[in-house]
């Protein structure tokens, strides 16, 4: 690594290793958006003139590009503001439409907050929700799912890829169970689209939520796939002009939609090569950290995992304290020391990770623009800082002296 | 969240990191917090025959604010009497480091650590002197 590249991270912006939070917009996406901010500013729903038609063409092209990426038909794609809206529309929309006959929803404890909160909201309205637990590797148990389904079950909502630990749920198996039992299968695929191959027919997915900015598209745009055969019906959240097959009214943001489409197209073409490259980089990162640090633990299944995610507990070093020491790196932690509750990540807790270990975790997200130099630099900085903080940690001392930390009676505060 | 210069300085260049033997009679050890809560502080004081804190050491598992708070109190307790050290308030620590509201508990923990170390020392020496008394009575 040249001293120049090193200086770049320590002196200007930190090195970005938080690709599960958001991804930088691909320059090709930005280029595709530009004309729709300027010359081609028309309302895609204007049916009577050139400006409207040109904007509509852009929107319909993007719809094709999205559909192509997940093996759907363009008519099945609804544009939304992002995955939070898509998840809300899918869950509340199904519940409102089918709720008088089927008032049971099955989801999972490690879902994103927007799925969990939408379900909690429905519970207050009299719906029954089953929250499936996950195994130590972060995946649901298919037998648990089978036995949770009743004749009152309207839908199963299980995320494709977890945002904290990157594990991939067995979508095809879940889809097969749902289809056989006649319940809708919704998946929050915000972290999966553009990272792993997805096919809504092969996987029997009825609804799929997508977020643009998680795969190098713009923020503020997402999609919901809603199956047409057999037809899935939804009560809309937003009423108005009846755009998006009446399921999501409001003028579509043409520039964002056009950019989103190009992000889909790039993903279709480059996903497999990119996944292979990131797999190599992640292995390099893990090998590098393990070579320098004992007692580090990967959280969640390493095999069934998107290649851009690593979530590691660095025993005896608190995650937020560690992040402060590696300020040249932009990462996130499972320690929630900044929140009022002092509760560590609910996802890690659901895997059975002890609270003290959850406090020591870092999420390292790599992606399209991460280089091997950057990975090496990150490994070096993290290892140096973990070693420094372990020297300062009373827990590390105790562990070295052979004292079992659990044998001590701690005063919880 | 932007941290103060003082806090970052204590985090990056912590004062008095280390351990002293817990078995020595002139050492008081305070161990407060819990791993499950994300912070544990160990503060040790070395007390002279005339009751002055000669030296202080710490080890902390926790966030930057917890590390900085413990580093700061090792400086503050030095050359103080036990009673003076026990008057250090969490609010003083929070003010000196400009801790944000969500980090006030770190200063509370540091105050607890001082009190725990002082009381450990008093317990040790108190016990020792009462042992001596018992011994004297027996003789």
CA distances (Å), origin B6, targets A43, A115, A405, B56, B72: 54, 42, 32, 19, 9
Catalytic residue among B37, B51, B95, B133: B37
Q: CA A61 to CA A363: how far, in whole Å?
A: 35
> What does the pLDDT look like over A150-182, one tens digit per residue?
999 999 999 999 999 999 999 999 999 999 999
Best to test chain A binding among B42, B61, B104, B113 (most A CBs inside 10 Å): B61
Element (H, E) at A394: helix A394-400
Asked if residue A21 lies in contact with residue A216, where contact means CB atoms within 8 angstroms, the answer is no
Best to test chain A binding among B9, B32, B37 (most A CBs inside 10 Å): B37
Please give the distance of CA A183 from its chain centroid, rounded to a whole number: 24
Candidate from B32, B35, B37 with C-beta closest to A395: B35
Does residue B37 carry a catalytic annotation? yes
> What does the pLDDT look like over A208-221, one tens digit per residue?
999 999 999 999 99
> A103-124 burial string, b = 16+ CB within 10 Å, else e?
bbbbbbebbbebbbebbeebee
Average pLDDT, chain A: 94
> What does the pLDDT look like over A372-399, one tens digit per residue?
999 999 999 999 999 999 999 999 999 9
In degrees to the nearest 10, what's the CA dihedral of A142, A146, A147, A150? 150
- Mean pLDDT, range A117-129, rounded to an integer: 97
Structural domains for chain B: 5-128 (3.90.1010.10)
**pLDDT exceeds cutoff 80 at B138:** no
**Chain B environment of A355 (Cβ under 8 Å):** 35-37
Candidate from B41, B67, B102 with C-beta closest to A321: B67
Give the distance between the most distant pair of CA atoms in chain B: 65
Best to test chain B binding among A326, A358, A392 (most B CBs inside 10 Å): A392
The answer to whether the Cβ–Cβ distance between B36 and A412 falls below 8 Å is yes
CA distances (Å), origin A68, targets A188, A197, A243: 18, 11, 21
**pLDDT exceeds cutoff 80 at B120:** yes
Burial class (CB in 10 A: 0-12, 13-18, 19+), B84: middle
Joined tokens for residue A183 = 């319940």
Asked if residue A155 lies in contact with residue A105, where contact means CB atoms within 8 angstroms, the answer is yes
- Mean pLDDT, range B29-39, rounded to an integer: 92
The fold adopted by the segment(s) A27-267 is: 3.40.640
pLDDT at A334: 74
Q: CA A378 to CA A294: how far, in whole Å?
A: 17
Chain A: give the shortest CA distance to residue B37, in Å.
Answer: 6
Domains of chain A, by residue range, sit at 3-24+272-400, 27-267
CA nearest to B41 within chain A: A394
Angle, CA A161 vertex, CA A156 and CA A167 arms, to 5°: 115
Q: CA A70 to CA A78: how far, in whole Å?
A: 13
Q: CA A217 to CA A271: how far, in whole Å?
A: 14
Q: CA A117 to CA A157: how far, in whole Å?
A: 13
The fold adopted by the segment(s) A3-24+272-400 is: 3.90.1150
Whether residue A391 lies within 8 A of chain B, CB to CB, comes out as yes
pLDDT: which is higher, B127 or A136:
A136
pTM of the predicted model, to two decimals? 0.91
DSSP H helices in B5-103: 5-12, 64-77, 82-85, 90-97
**A residues 344..373 contacting B (CB < 8 A):** 344, 354-356, 359
Q: CA A85 to CA A80: how far, in whole Å?
A: 6
Q: CA A329 to CA A352: how far, in whole Å?
A: 28
Joined tokens for residue A79 = 């544009």
- DSSP letters for A231-260: T-----SS-SS-TTTTTS-S---HHHHHHH
SS3 helix, strand, coil % of chain B, rounded to 5?
A: 55, 20, 25
**Chain A environment of B64 (Cβ under 8 Å):** 320-321, 324-325
pLDDT at B130: 47
Q: CA A251 to CA A244: how far, in whole Å?
A: 10
DSSP H helices in A130-253: 142-148, 171-181
pLDDT at A404: 87
Nearest residue to A193 (alpha-carbon basis) of A178, A213, A174:
A213
**pLDDT exceeds cutoff 80 at A245:** yes
With a pLDDT cut of 70, the percent of chain A lying above it is 95
**Residues of A with active-site annotation:** 337
> What does the pLDDT look like over A280-302, one tens digit per residue?
999 999 999 999 999 999 999 99
Asked if residue A188 lies in contact with residue A160, where contact means CB atoms within 8 angstroms, the answer is yes
pLDDT: which is higher, A221 or B134:
A221
Which residues lie across from A197 on neighbouring strands?
A: none
pLDDT at A409: 82
Q: CA A390 to CA A345: how far, in whole Å?
A: 22
Asked if residue A250 lies in contact with residue A240, where contact means CB atoms within 8 angstroms, the answer is yes
- Mean pLDDT, range A137-154, rounded to an integer: 98
CA distances (Å), origin A21, targets A51, A67, A181, A208: 35, 24, 35, 19
- Mean pLDDT, range A260-266, rounded to an integer: 98
């Amino acid at each position: 690594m040249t001293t120049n590249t090193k200086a770049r991270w320590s002196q200007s912006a930190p090195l970005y290793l938080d690709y599960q939070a958001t991804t930088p917009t691909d320059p090709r996406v930005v280029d595709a958006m530009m004309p729709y901010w300027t010359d081609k500013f028309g309302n895609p729903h204007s049916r009577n003139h050139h400006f409207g038609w040109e904007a509509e063409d852009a929107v319909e092209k993007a719809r094709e590009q999205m559909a192509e990426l997940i093996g759907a038909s363009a008519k099945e794609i609804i544009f939304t503001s992002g995955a939070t809206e898509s998840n809300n529309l899918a869950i509340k929309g199904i519940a409102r439409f089918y709720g008088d006959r089927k008032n049971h929803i099955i989801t999972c404890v490690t879902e994103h907050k927007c799925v969990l909160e939408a379900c909690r909201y429905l519970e207050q309205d009299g719906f029954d929700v089953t929250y499936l637990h996950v195994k130590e590797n972060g995946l649901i148990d298919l037998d648990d799912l089978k036995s949770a389904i009743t004749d009152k079950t309207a839908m199963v909502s299980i995320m494709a890829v977890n945002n904290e630990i990157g594990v991939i749920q067995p979508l095809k198996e879940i889809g097969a169970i749902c289809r056989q039992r006649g319940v809708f299968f919704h998946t929050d695929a915000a972290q999966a689209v553009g990272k792993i191959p997805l096919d809504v027919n092969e996987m029997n997915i009825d609804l799929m939520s997508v977020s643009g900015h998680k795969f190098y598209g713009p923020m503020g745009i997402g999609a919901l796939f809603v199956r047409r055969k057999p037809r899935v019906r939804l009560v809309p959240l937003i009423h108005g002009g009846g755009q998006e097959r009446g399921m999501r009214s409001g003028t579509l943001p043409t520039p964002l939609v056009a950019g989103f489409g190009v992000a889909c197209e790039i993903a279709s073409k480059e996903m497999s090569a990119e996944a292979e490259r990131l797999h190599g980089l992640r292995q390099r990162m893990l090998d590098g950290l393990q070579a320098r640090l004992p007692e580090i633990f990967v959280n969640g299944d390493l095999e069934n995992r998107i290649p851009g995610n690593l979530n590691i507990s660095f025993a005896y070093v608190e995650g937020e304290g560690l992040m402060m020491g590696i300020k040249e790196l932009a990462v996130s932690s499972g320690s929630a020391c900044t929140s009022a509750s002092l509760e560590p990540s609910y996802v890690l807790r659901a895997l059975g990770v002890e609270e003290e270990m959850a406090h020591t975790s870092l999420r390292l997200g790599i992606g399209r623009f991460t280089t091997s130099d950057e990975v090496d630099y990150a490994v070096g900085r993290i290892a140096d800082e973990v070693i420094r903080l372990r020297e300062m940690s009373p827990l590390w001392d105790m562990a070295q002296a052979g004292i079992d930390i659990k044998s001590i009676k701690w005063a919880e505060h | 969240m932007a941290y103060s210069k003082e806090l970052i300085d204590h985090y990056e260049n912590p004062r008095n990191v280390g351990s002293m033997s817990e078995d020595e009679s002139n050492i008081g050890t305070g161990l407060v917090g819990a791993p499950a809560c994300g912070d544990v502080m160990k503060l040790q004081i070395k007390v002279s025959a005339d009751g002055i804190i000669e030296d202080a050491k710490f080890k902390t598992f926790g966030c930057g604010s917890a590390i900085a708070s413990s580093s700061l109190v090792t400086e503050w307790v030095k050359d103080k009497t036990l009673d003076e050290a026990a008057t250090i308030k969490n609010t003083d620590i929070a003010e000196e480091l400009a801790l944000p509201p969500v980090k006030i508990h770190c200063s509370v923990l540091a105050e607890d650590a001082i009190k725990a170390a002082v009381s450990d020392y008093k317990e040790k020496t108190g016990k020792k002197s009462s042992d001596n008394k018992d011994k004297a009575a027996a003789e």
